[in-house]
Amino acid sequence: MKKELMAVLIFILIIAASIFNIAQISTLSSKMTVLVQNAVSSAEKSNWEAAAWYAESAEALWASHKLYIYTVFRHESTDNISDCIYELLSEVYSKDPDHVSEAAMRLTAYLEILRDMEKPTLESIF
Amino acid sequence: MAISIIRTILLFALIMVCTRIMGKRQLGELEPSELVVAIMLSDIAVHPLQDPGIPLLYGVVPVLTLLCCEIFVSYMVVKNITLRAIICGKPSIIIDGGKINQKEMAKNRLTLDELTVELRKQNVTDINMVKYAILESDGSLSIMLRAGDSPATPNQMSLSVDDPGLPVMLISDGRTLQNNLEYLNLNEAWLKNELKKRNISKPEDVYIFMTDSSGNIYFSLKEG
């Protein structure tokens, strides 16, 4: 009976961890998306200082979750997002509003993919 | 993470069904759920090792999920006989009262060659000697010989024989195994005395020393 109880405990733990993971990546991705969108709208208004602040905040937020991200997600997916963040930053520093929008779109798309991959939907399971 | 858990459970169920459909001959002395876990574990565990870009969790979560599946299935088959028949299958009587059951042979896709090979492995060369042959749920073949062809037992011959009990190792490669001494209700003084009787000064000189509850002793000294 000890083994069975242990198995139930492990199963509950991994289910709880996976629910926590879904909540965590959804929150992180929403926060990142808001920051990126703010960066784009500031860039469109040529408020480059604010755009840089939002983009840097997005980069800082992503970096602060590095341990969690690299422990849970495929490094290929997380590396793509890191690349997009640095691309957005460089476009903001070059003060090019069109390229900022493009980089932001790519970044939000990758974030969405990462978030959706963790949601237990038919598409992600099969 | 959730996807890994769901995918593992789905694949576990799918491979279980396939293993059951493949039949007993594919099992090779493992129960279906054990075989499925063995097949899946070996592959799952290797992926994060081969590719540093895959987090270790991608190996850990499915392994833990499989562990839970296997324990749940084992628990359920112990508790429920019907479920046991569904998951593990039932033994098939291949030879019944000396007659080969062709229907069961076909059902288990067992050829006559395979049957005779299995019989020969158990030192049976003449099918006439076999009263019952049962294909067990783990894929092994159990054979019961006719009474006239079975080796006579001391009881059948009205002989009394000593029951030696379980042989237990007391010294292994020079080390005295205290737990085994206690198991036989013996002590080091007894062991030293037995060694002295055989002109052995200390346990360190002994490679193996075994005894049973009847006091039969086997020993061998270290070489060199």
Tokens of A17: 């961890």
Of A11, A76, A120, Cβ closest to residue B68: A11
Report pLDDT for A62.
Answer: 92
The H-or-E segment that residue B73 falls in is helix B57-79
Q: How far apart are CA A81 and CA B6, in angstroms?
A: 26
pLDDT tens digit at each of 224 positions of chain B = 777 788 788 888 877 777 777 666 555 567 777 778 888 887 887 787 778 888 888 888 888 888 888 888 888 888 888 888 888 888 899 999 889 999 999 988 888 998 999 899 988 888 888 999 999 887 888 999 998 888 888 888 888 887 778 899 999 999 999 999 998 888 899 999 999 999 998 899 999 999 987 788 999 998 87
Cβ distance of B55 and A71 shorter than 8 Å: yes
- A contact test, residue of B33, B68, B70, B78 with most A CBs within 10 A: B68
Report pLDDT for B25.
Answer: 58
Q: How far apart are CA B125 and CA B147, in angstroms?
A: 16
Report pLDDT for B26.
Answer: 55
Q: Which residues on chain B are in Cβ contact (under 8 Å) with A11?
A: 64-65, 68
Cβ distance of B2 and A117 shorter than 8 Å: no
ipTM of the complex: 0.81
Of A71, A119, A124, Cβ closest to residue B57: A71
Report pLDDT for B79.
Answer: 87
Q: What is the CATH number of domain B92-149?
A: 3.30.240.20
Chain B: give the shortest CA distance to residue A68, in Å: 11
Of B6, B55, B75, Cβ closest to residue A125: B6
Report pLDDT for A60.
Answer: 93
DSSP-assigned letters across all residues of A74-85? -HHHHHHHHHHH
Report pLDDT for A61.
Answer: 93
The H-or-E segment that residue B115 falls in is helix B112-121
Q: What is the pLDDT of residues B89-120, one digit of tens each?
A: 888 999 998 899 999 999 888 889 989 998 99
Strand, coil or helix: what is B151? coil
Tokens of A61: 């937020």
| Alpha carbon B163 to chain centroid, angstroms | 24
Domain assignments of chain A as residue spans, ordered by start: 33-118
Give the DSSP letter of residue A59.
H
pTM, two decimal places: 0.69
A67/B contact by beta carbon, under 8 A: no
Please state the length of chain B. 224
Work out whether the CA dihedral B187, B193, B198, B199 comes out positive or negative: positive
CB within 8 Å of chain A, chain B residues 38-97: 52-58, 61, 64-65, 67-68, 71-72, 75
Which residues does chain A have with pLDDT short of 50?
Answer: none
Strand, coil or helix: what is B92? strand
Q: Which residues on chain A are in Cβ contact (under 8 Å) with B5?
A: 14-15, 18
Domain assignments of chain B as residue spans, ordered by start: 2-88, 92-149, 168-221
Q: How far apart are the first and last CA of chain A?
A: 34
Q: Which fold has domain B168-221?
A: CRO Repressor (3.30.240)
Report pLDDT for B9.
Answer: 83
